[in-house]
Every structure is written in C-alpha cells, then in structure tokens.
Structure 1
Amino acid sequence: MKYKTLGRSGLEVSEVGFGCMSLGEDRAVNKALLHQALDSGITFFDTADLYQKGENEVAVGNAFKGMRDRVVLATKVGNQWRPDGSGWDWNPTKAYILQAVEHSLKRLQTDHIDLYQLHGGTIEDPIDETIEAFEILKAQGKIRAYGISSIRPNVIREYIKRSNIDSVMMQYSLLDRRPEEACLGLLQEQGIGVLARGSLAQGLLVGKSPKPYLGHSEKEVAAAAEAVSRVAGNQRSVAEVAARYVLHHPAVTTAVLGIRTAAQLQDALHVAEAAPLQEQGIEELKRAVQALRYEQHR
C-alpha cells in the first residue's frame, strides 16, 4: 500500500480508501470487513452523518473502538434529517455544524475527527459562516482538518480563496472527466488533496451492463468499458485499470472505493497493489470516450 499526505493537513492516508456508505446492517460483518481492510493496509475510512441516519458512523465507531490511533476517520456534515425522518434539508450554518459535530463524535466513539467535510455546497451558502465553524472546531481540537465534498467549480474556487481547506472530494472516473477540465490542476497548484469517488462509474466500467450515464450514451459507455478491458488485458483486472486511471493524475491523493463485501475489498486491495498505468494506456483510455465539461456551476 502506498501512503500520501492529504493536502497540507499532515494526515498520512492510504492511496486507496474505504468508502463506508455501502456497508450493510450486520454489525459483526461490518466490523470484520473493516478490520480486514485495516490489517491489509487501508487506513482512510470515509463515512457521513447522512448515511443510514447516522448508523453508518455508529458501525465505523464500533469497529475501531480501541484502535483509533491506527485509522484516519473522515465524515461529513450539512444534511440535516427532518424530525419525522421523511428526508433531509441542506443546512451549512455555523450553528448546525457546531451542533452536528458533537453527535458525530459520539457515534464514532472518538474525541476528534481527522477530516470533517461539508457534504455538498452551493454558491448561495453562507460560506464564510461555514468556514468559521470549521476553524472553531479545528482550534478546539475536535477536528484535525476540513474540506468539502463538491463537484462544483464555482464552489471549489470560493473555498480555495476564502478558507484553509485541505481536501476536496469529487466524483472522477473515465466516464466523468469533468474534474480534469476545471478543477484538478487548480487544486494541485494550491496543494489541496483530491479524494476521488465514483471511480468505477457505478460499476459501468467493470462489467455492469451499459446504460446512459451522465452525458454519455449507452454506446459510449460500452466503448469506455471495452477500452478498460483492452488495457487490462491478461495482466490486470478491469477494476485496477478503472481506479488506476483516476490515480494517475497527480492531484489525486486517494481513490475512495465503496466496499460492502469481502470480494469488493479484495478488488480494492488489488488496485492498491497494482503498478501505475503506462502513458500509452492512459491515452488509449482517453481516446475511447469524450471528456465531459461542467455545464453548470462554472
């Protein structure tokens, strides 16, 4: 496993991270899977207070009780569940963040969160107020670093200008190359780490039946998957190629892969062990599918 420093935070994180959103409801199974990942070298675990109405954080906290110093825990805030459980509303206010962090700390059974992330964001948000909340929590020692989870270039630019974020989590894959156009170079230049999610494009790059995806037609999705398979050949798995495409960009610190089963964990570990793609392979993948551009939030 390769490890990198996340932005300017000083946090050392595994190049492949464990996306906890997909975990099931069986606590024992979850605990065993999370422990196996940690024992295999994965140290970065990403959850959110939104997932399973907080139960995802509970599962992660329960699994790592007594071994907190071995893991880098990331969670997210900003989506507030309604009292009747009918859904959630966007709430990036200072008051809510300072309240919500206490619940996340309790569920995670820890006195600090390594990376606290705003779970979304719009240009109309009270951005300075949100930043102030994160800075207060950092000064209090309740969080070590903070970032945003956003694909919106205009929001990302504002946080770069107005805050001390260490990371941006964004969707990035061969079928969603929008970050290459507007964000990755800027974030790399600013020393801000990128946490890539959705690297397998909902499984469409690794064997799932093709269907329209974002702005791509079913035919284009099939062509991208075929290119991944060609580059994989007999030496690599398609998951290795799809994830290694994302990791080839120097702005990307970690590919956060959703893991629910032991087989998915093994796929993630194979990605971690795999050699980087050669430039020839990268170019073949790029030729196979046209890069999308952000049409909104520019």
Structure 2
Amino acid sequence: MNYLPLGQSDLIVSEISMGCMSLGDDPNQNASLLRHAFDNGITLFDTADLYDQGQNERMVGQAFAGMRQQVILATKVGNRWRPDGSGWDWNPTKAYILQAVEESLKRLQTDYIDLYQLHGGTLDDPIDETIEAFEQLKREGKIREYGISSIRPNVIREWIARSNIVSVMMQYSLLDRRPEETSLDLLHEHKVSVLARGSLAKGLLANKPAKSYLNYTTDEVRQAADAIKAASTTAASTAAVSTVAVSTNRSPVATAIRYVLHHPAVASAVVGVRTQEQLTDVVLSQTSLALTEQEWQQLANALPANQYDQHR
C-alpha cells in the first residue's frame, strides 16, 4: 500500500481507503470488516453524521476503540436530521457545526477528528462563517484538518480561495470524468488533495449488469466496463513476463481504482465496502500494476468525457 499526505498537512493516508456508508447493520460483522481492512494496510476510514442517523459513526468508533491513534478518521457535517427523523435539512452555520462536532466525537469515541468535512456546500452558504467554525475547532484541538465534500466547481473555487482546506472529496470514475475538466488540475495546483469516491460507479465497472449512469446510456456503460476488462487482461499478460514484484492479476476493480489514482491530485480512492468478498477485491488492488500513460489514455478514449452542466 502506498501512503500519501493530504494536501500540505501531516495527515498521511492510504491510497485506497474505506467508505463506511456501505456498512450493514451488524456491528460485530462491521467491526470485523473494518479491522480486516486496517490489517491489510487501509488507514483512512470515512463516515458522516448523516449516515444511519449517527449509527454509522458509532459503529466505526466501536471498531477502533483502543487503537485510535493508528487510524485516520474522517467524518462530515452540515446535514441536520429533523427531530421526527423524517429527513434532514442543510445547516452549514457555525453554531450548528460547533454543536454537531461534540456529538460526532462521542459517537466515534474520540477526543479529536482527523479530517472534518463539510458535507456539501453552495454559494449561498455563509462560507466565511463555516470556515470560522472549522478554524476554531482546529485551534481547540477537536479536529486536525478540514475539507469539503463537493462536486461543484464554483464551490470548490471559493473554498480554495478563502480557506485552508486540505482535501476535497468528489465523485470520480471512468463513468464520471467531470472533475478532469478543471477541478483536478486546479486542486493539484493549490496543493489540495482529492479523495475520490465512486471509482467503481456503483459496481458498473466491476461486473454489475450494465444500466444507464449519469448521461451515459446502457450501451455506453457496457462499453466502459469492457474497456476496463480489456485493460485488466492486458495488465495480466504484461506482468506475467515482468520482474516487477506486483500482482499479475489486475482485476476490473483494481483497474477502475487505478484509473482515478492516476491523476497526481488524487491522494486516495474511497471505496465503499459491505462484504468480505468486496474487501478482498479492494485489498488486492493495492498490489496491482499502476496504469501506464498509454493505458490510462486508452481507457479515457473509451467514451467521450462528460462535463458539469451546472455549478460551473
């Protein structure tokens, strides 16, 4: 496993990390899965106060009780559950963030959060006030660093200009190349790391039956999946005659992950895992061959790149 810094911070994260939103309802099974991920080199675990009304944070905290300093815990704030549980409302105010962090700390069984992220964001937010909240929490030692989780280029630009974020979590895959238009290069230029979620495109790039995705038709999704499989087969045959000490079996999962890790802005691919079988596939990806520039370009040429049509 490779480990990279988040932005210019001292947070060092595994290049493949675990998105905990996909966890099931069994705390014991989840704890086993999370600990197995850690035992295989994964150090960054991402959750949010929104997931399962805080239960997801609670399970992550329980899984790593007694070994807190060995893992990087990331969580998110900004979506406030209504008292009756009927849904949630957007609340990026300073007062709410300072209140919400205390609840997340309790659920995670810790006195600090490694990476605290705004779970969304719009240009209508009180951005400077939100930044003040994060900066205050850093001074108080309740968080080590902060970032945002956003796919909106206009919001990302504002946060780059006005804050000290170390990361932006965004959806990015062969079937969602919108970040390639401007965001990846801009973030790399400003030394802000990307946490790429959705690299498997809901499993469509890893053997799930093809169906439409974003602006791509079912046939186009199948075309992208076939390109991933072809790149995996080529890697296996190339590695078989190589002296490089890496796996000769770059699976479709590994190839899809390697696609997003190719850009230097991306520090980690955040992969959702629910079962031991899925975790095994993800863990094997860490020893797979990186994509060559030619391989990456061949994959990129499989479909026309999509672009943002809003929030530009």
The two structures have a TM-score, normalised by structure 1, of 0.99
Q: How many residues align?
A: 298
Partner of 1:295: 309
Cα separation, 1, equivalents of 2:39 and 2:261: 22
Cα separation, 2, equivalents of 1:207 and 1:38: 26
Partner of 2:278: 264
Structure 2 residue aligned with 1:255, among 266, 269, 272? 269
RMSD, aligned α-carbons: 0.7
Partner of 2:183: 183
**Counterpart mapping for 1:211-290 below 5 A:** 211-233=211-233, 234=236, 235-290=249-304
Where 2:10 maps in the other structure, the secondary structure is coil
Q: Which residue identity lines up with residue 288 of structure 1 in the other structure?
A: A
Partner of 2:244: none
Runs of 4+ with deviation above 6 angstroms: none
Where 1:256 maps in the other structure, the secondary structure is strand
| Amino-acid identity (%) | 65
Q: Which residue identity lines up with residue 134 of structure 2 in the other structure?
A: F
Partner of 1:74: 74
Where 2:148 maps in the other structure, the secondary structure is strand
CA displacement at 1:79 relative to structure 2: 0.3
Q: Which residue identity lines up with residue 257 of structure 1 in the other structure?
A: V
Deviations 1:185-218 (A, max 9, x none): 0000000010000000011111111111111111
- After the TM superposition, which of the residue ranges 190-199 and 270-279 deviates more from structure 2? 270-279
Where 2:285 maps in the other structure, the secondary structure is helix
- After the TM superposition, which of the residue ranges 246-255 and 274-283 deviates more from structure 2? 274-283
Cα separation, 2, equivalents of 1:29 and 1:122: 37
Gapped runs of 5+ residues in structure 1? none
Kept after mapping to 1: 8 A contact 2:16/2:271: yes
**Counterpart mapping for 1:73-152 below 5 A:** 73-152=73-152
- After the TM superposition, which of the residue ranges 205-214 and 140-149 deviates more from structure 2? 205-214
CA displacement at 1:272 relative to structure 2: 1.4
Deviations 1:66-108 (A, max 9, x none): 1001000000000000000000000000000000000000000
Cα separation, 2, equivalents of 1:47 and 1:257: 12
Where 2:301 maps in the other structure, the secondary structure is helix
Cα separation, 2, equivalents of 1:9 and 1:76: 18
Q: Which residue identity lines up with residue 213 of structure 2 in the other structure?
A: Y
CA displacement at 1:270 relative to structure 2: 1.2
- After the TM superposition, which of the residue ranges 251-260 and 207-216 deviates more from structure 2? 207-216
